[in-house]
Structure 1
């Protein structure tokens, strides 16, 4: 039976999650349909655009993504503290980018200085709290990503029914090793599927976007930034630099080649810091979904996650 989402998301253990959504009806609904010859490639841009817009509304950062022909991979970071620190007015304004707010919330956003009576204030506080909780809820994030795309695709196909599978897959990333491995796994999806040949040409991936911005001396605002000396203190960022991550992902690409001689390749500094050997790294970064189910991490972190989510067993504990 499917596991309830509130038993998969445990912010006590980690704010990082890998989410996967897959198409139904027929494969290549976002690519080229081999049966009819019709090209649906433009739908991949729909998904990417919607994803990056949502990252500016929700208190959820996009760490990595890859929009494939019939599925999407996204690595998300839940910034709960940011949501809790926002003012009521900011919460309402963000929610109004997605849905029409309640009448009282609309009136408050138009005139924040208006004096409310006790009942109105209590009602408004309850409503704002609901909106606030949704703004750092992964299920709401994925719903706001997938539902508009499904409606748009159904309208284009002149049909009704499901576009995506009923539930997206979620994997908790419990430590720095699995976060790095999952991000590399996601960014290399098009290359691993032999759709693209290089990182620079991998369309609809976060790594291509990051490389383009890096070449211009910056980082994309719609993606969670890598650690950097240029960031302000207390600014939330990924726990490694882009230089280290870029070296790691290029090293992982070289491991895929049968003719590669490991002795002749310089091991990236990040792999030393993560304390992972080559064989374990190759297996994890290239077969991430096959190894882990709803959580990925060290044996110790998986045991803690199992306790906090009240589960009897976890797939992947022996592989940790």
Structure 2
């Protein structure tokens, strides 16, 4: 732990942090305290997240897909991105007769249904196609609720233009929207203010929590610390390697696509000397001079529930142009 502290303390913007997409809300809460304190200024990139910003209003519920009479899926291969939503869509179409429109450049699992209307387009053209849909025959008189589900096209779309187009379509056809976040707890990380989208290029110290950065470890890195449950070739040159828990050993909570908090109960008991991630973050905070002391994860959850919202929160980052993961 001391070697880790020496390598990351006081680095400011020269420190990069790669976060896992499945960090819990409790881990995000503690990590935010470090970002607001001794790690202030660090560049943060969440592994596997979309370019989608936090929702400006309450999204539609996942279960409402079942009752939709028309479903529009935009810029997402739902089978790979959001498998649970993919099953809901197929159930609504095959069992309940919903009409389905897919706007995506390539073939997808949903094409198996013979009634699927698939509008293919060149990369970056999703928003333009969505703006034509208000006059589509299937949406003129859908006969009930319309669900508009959209992703980020895995970096190929201008997300601001696409979100605006989907919002306009929802207003014109009386539909509801649901943004399709890929990250396991992307909604929770966004709410906590830690779902970073910073470039890690140029950082001199890197703390990689979970898998290595999608773009690889920057050549500028002089100090590398890895916190992972798997040995990987990328960690061969790491100055510090910390063992991490697996998903099956974690307790805490996630926030799902619609913003509902779901609690985890680990099926596998943690074995010493392995420690829970919140305990490691707490020790790191203490070593960095932050007064963090909790006797259990329930104490963290109580403080999270009592913490008032920021009266002047930082504005949601606006991503201009095509997103690059």
Q: Give the TM-score taking structure 1 as reference length.
A: 0.27
Richer in helix (by share): 1
The structure with more strand, counted as a fraction of residues = 2
Task: State the TM-score, normalized to the length of structure 2.
Answer: 0.26
